[in-house]
Structure 1
């Protein structure tokens, strides 16, 4: 088995190498510290089984790298690794062609589970993505209210901006709190930002 690890930090690459030994002692790990090196290695080694790709690389981001890999090596499964836990970003990566996503804050067991899942031909979706599906049920108006909350606007300001009553804003805010399972606006803003929502400004 041959796995290509793409990360600009030597310590991270070595750490992943050690974790991957948990799959099989004989696993061969190729390492690249830049995306252009990774593409060259993938061209040289047609027998690579899997790529572990850090999302934040110095020469391009994960989405751009996924597109290049998709054009040059469409058959090659890629698991993206990132410190970003944004469900919006994770969905984007899976849509662009990633076979899985693992947060850098995960335990090594989760990485091995993801690798085994993808090597079997399946897609690995992290638990935080599966748990976030209820957030997709916000209406367009609630999302607009949420974006203005993220910009720091008060209920009164939001009401004026959207030409609705303050009471209506309050009911939208209450719905947003329920969706994120939080107690107040501050917690909602934090949860929304983590899930990839952004303000309008």
Structure 2
């Protein structure tokens, strides 16, 4: 497992590294103090499983960085970290494509819970938001031509909660090919991450193979 931590405070990054060992003692943690460094690491490490992104960074805001990651690495789940518990910011971050939002005042167990949830393909919504996140809408997919047969196969694997590696093995294609199909699926539903794609697909009538 490989996680990219982006925060401009070295002590915070080191602290997060120690907390993330609670997932797996051998977890690999990449560290970046700026978005520029983070984007370079993401280009050089295509096997990153998740990003922890600070909301306040020296070279751009977390929202701006989230947008860049969404365009360059749409398959990569992002959990936003912030010292603020502002509900409006939380909602904006999740609506912008983040897979989770955790305040820095949270206990380490909450962060680990959020990370595990996101790694399993779900969205972690702070308790302050209640059920508001479920109200996000994804419109316009029904007006488009159908997905290709291969894209539908990949989508059904996503609905089953499988990782890119597992999908590649199941469909006998490379992980890079899977990423290409996932990116096409995200564009199709006009969403920014695989979790939102699953929600949008379910609303359009797609079901996991286990429920077919």
Is it true that 1:25 corresponds to 2:33 in the alignment?
no
Structure 1 match to 2:63: 63
Structure 1 match to 2:93: 93
- Cα distance in 1 for partners of 2:46, 2:92 equals 27
- Cα distance in 2 for partners of 1:122, 1:95 equals 14
- Cα distance in 2 for partners of 1:95, 1:43 equals 25
Structure 2 stretches of 5 or more lacking a match?
133-212
Q: Aligned residues, how many?
A: 133
* Residues 8-23 of structure 1 aligned to structure 2 (within 5 Å): 8-23=8-23
Q: CA deviation at 1:58?
A: 0.2
- Cα distance in 2 for partners of 1:36, 1:129 equals 31
* Residues 165-184 of structure 1 aligned to structure 2 (within 5 Å): none
Structure 1 match to 2:5: 5
Structure 2 match to 1:79: 79
- Cα distance in 2 for partners of 1:41, 1:12 equals 18
Q: CA deviation at 1:129?
A: 1.5
* Residues 121-136 of structure 1 aligned to structure 2 (within 5 Å): 121-130=121-130
SS in 2 for 1:57: coil
Q: CA deviation at 1:84?
A: 1.1
SS in 2 for 1:75: coil
- Cα distance in 2 for partners of 1:23, 1:130 equals 26
- Cα distance in 1 for partners of 2:126, 2:92 equals 14
Structure 1 match to 2:146: none
Structure 2 match to 1:144: none
Q: CA deviation at 1:127?
A: 1.1
- Cα distance in 2 for partners of 1:21, 1:2 equals 11
Structure 2 match to 1:50: 50
Q: CA deviation at 1:128?
A: 1.4
1:148-189: CA deviations, max 9, x gaps?
xxxxxxxxxxxxxxxxxxxxxxxxxxxxxxxxxxxxxxxxxx
- Cα distance in 2 for partners of 1:63, 1:110 equals 22
RMSD: 1.3
Is it true that 1:41 corresponds to 2:26 in the alignment?
no
Q: CA deviation at 1:41?
A: 0.3
- Cα distance in 1 for partners of 2:4, 2:129 equals 25
TM-score (norm 1): 0.65
Structure 1 stretches of 5 or more lacking a match?
134-201
Would you identify which runs of 4 or more consecutive aligned residues in structure 1 move more than 6 Å? Answer: none
